[in-house]
Chain A
Amino acid sequence: DAGITQSPRHKVTETGTPVTLRCHQTENHRYMYWYRQDPGHGLRLIHYSYGVKDTDKGEVSDGYSVSRSKTEDFLLTLESATSSQTSVYFCAISESSGRATDTQYFGPGTRLTVL
């Protein structure tokens, strides 16, 4: 497995509570991504980063913010969690080069339940 860890692996929280998920990589890859996976929707991109302090929105970014202060860490924050944010969250990394989108390597996932 690529050196990607996610923490926590499981979390149960209450509506309105702030939540931060962490993704840590040891591969020194430039690109990092946060996805959520829900039944019937597949994998959807929340935010991604193309370098330290460089981030952009994906297709389902509302209610989420991200930060990347170091190459190895990419944080996903739910400022005020809602039940619709109950999901499995995956972090991924890639080292795109040139004009092609390269392989993405995924972390083990974080299962978040918002009550």
Chain B
Amino acid sequence: SQQGEEDPQALSIQEGENATMNCSYKTSINNLQWYRQNSGRGLVHLILIRSNEREKHSGRLRVTLDTSKKSSSLLITASRAADTASYFCATGPGGSNYKLTFGKGTLLTVNP
């Protein structure tokens, strides 16, 4: 069964706008990761946030984690057409050393 669930399933914005995607999960986690997948390609890791962290930045990406609500958000600022992709959250459950559980993804379309 899926652990993470992204919301919305699809998002369409104009270039320059910010994009926010959310992820909710059900059980305790050790860390939460976000991945990007361009059409026809493999997933690429974007950012990892650990359960004891609340916010993390990487370039134009900002990730927040609220363990009390079992949710995370990914913000992409000043979006570009090249950001068009599917975005997945993945959770590493506490007690497991090597397995991630992926959500179904959010398809982001950035219109030029």
Q: Which residues does A use to contact B, with CB under 8 Å?
A: 4, 31, 35, 40-45, 48, 50, 58-59, 90, 92, 94, 96, 99-109
Contact = CB atoms under 8 A, between A and B. Distances in A.
Interface residues of B, number: 26
A48 B42 contact: no
Interface of B: 1-2, 30-31, 33, 40-45, 48, 50, 88, 90, 92, 96-105
Closest 5 interchain pairs by CB? Answer: A101-B92, A106-B42, A42-B104, A43-B102, A106-B43
Contacts of A44: 102
Contacts of A40: 104
Contact of A108 (B41, B45, B88, B102): B41
A40 B101 CA distance: 15
B31 A43 contact: no
B43 A43 contact: yes
B100 A104 contact: yes
Nearest to B5: A42
B98 A41 contact: no
A100 B1 CA distance: 21
B104 A106 contact: no
B100 A101 contact: yes
A31 to B, nearest CB: 5
A99 B92 CA distance: 10
A41 B2 CA distance: 8
